[in-house]
Amino acid sequence: MSKNSIRYFVALMIVGGAASAALPPVVDGTGRVTSAPAQQSAPTNLLGMYNRLEQLQREVQQLQGQIEEQHYLIESLKKRQRDLYLDTDRRLVQLESGKIDLSVSGTSPSIATSSDASEGSQPSVALNKAPGEQDRLAYEKAFSSLKAGQYQQSITDFSEFVAQYPNSVYIPNAFYWLGEASYVNRDFQRADEEFNKVVSLYPEHSKAKDAMLKIGFIQYENKQWQAARETLEKVTTSYPNSTVATLAKKRLDLMRQENR
């Protein structure tokens, strides 16, 4: 009901109340008043109700404004957090590129396990010394899609990137972000595949511990309770005193509460 309609309705009630108030009191045969015109207070009561209604409408409008403001602030904080996270990733890539530049000239650096191949470790995966201009631009394009929340587009862009630049220094990060974007889209099969590439091919990379944590989360989502428990416990023992270890412990605590 619009405010004009409310005003019209209240005006009609006031007029009706005023007309009732104008009626004389009822008097019996002895001259005594048997009933007083109680309606005389109706206009005052209706005006009070109308004023209260208007006050409530103003309060509701204020609350709606506050809710919209809070929603905007929350979205701004979420965007800022995502931007900071992605910027950190970009800086890590730059640092890792710098470390690769320190490799012996003429050799292809690799990101592999610290163990010897004779101990059953995964073979080294050769990467370029430093990002070239083309693969850097292609990576940043895919990265921008992810940063903007365009997850399906980022999946397409990162897929094209890994196909075109298989030896780029950005490859471990590209696999990881492919997994993240797929995880957000709840394509757990694709996400699991991409995260496992990071863990198995680049176990010493900075994204390996995050990928292992996400593998545990995916197993939890798929109700693979035993596998999830083993993976998350491995995260806590392989990366103690780290953020991923803390997150893994929280999920393990949740599983215990759920009797998983």
Over residues 66-105, the pLDDT tens digits come to 776 676 567 656 656 655 555 555 555 554 444 433 222 2
121 occurs within a structural domain: no
> Lowest mean pLDDT: which of 7-21, 29-43, 106-120?
106-120
Range of the domain at 142: 134-205
φ, ψ dihedrals at 108, nearest 5°: -95, 115
Task: Name the average pLDDT for the chain.
Answer: 74
Q: Both tokens of residue 196?
A: 């496992």
Helix axes 133-147, 151-164, angle to 10 degrees: 160
Q: Both tokens of residue 14?
A: 């006031």
Domain closes at, from 162, 185, 205: 205
| Residue 149 pLDDT grade (very low, low, confident, very high; cuts 50, 70, 90) | confident
Reply yes or no on whether the pLDDT at 245 is more than 90. Answer: yes
| Residue 122 pLDDT grade (very low, low, confident, very high; cuts 50, 70, 90) | very low
Which residues pair with residue 35 across a beta bridge?
26
* Cβ 179 vs Cβ 191: under 8 Å: yes
* Cβ 27 vs Cβ 33: under 8 Å: yes
* Cβ 37 vs Cβ 30: under 8 Å: no
Q: Quick one: which of 203, 193, 186 has its CA closest to 238?
A: 203
| Residue 107 pLDDT grade (very low, low, confident, very high; cuts 50, 70, 90) | very low
Strand extents, DSSP E, 19-76: 26-27, 33-35
Question: CA separation (Å) from 256 to 159, 226, 240?
Answer: 37, 12, 20
Reply yes or no on whether the pLDDT at 114 is more than 80. Answer: no
36 occurs within a structural domain: no
173 occurs within a structural domain: yes
Q: If you ran DSSP here, which 8-state letter would residue 35 be given? A: E
| Residue 63 pLDDT grade (very low, low, confident, very high; cuts 50, 70, 90) | confident
Reply yes or no on whether the pLDDT at 192 is more than 50. Answer: yes
Question: Looking at the 3D structure of the chain, how many domains does it have?
Answer: 2
Q: Please check whether residues 193 and 170 belong to one and the same domain.
A: yes
Q: Please check whether residues 161 and 222 belong to one and the same domain.
A: no
CA 54 to chain centre: 38
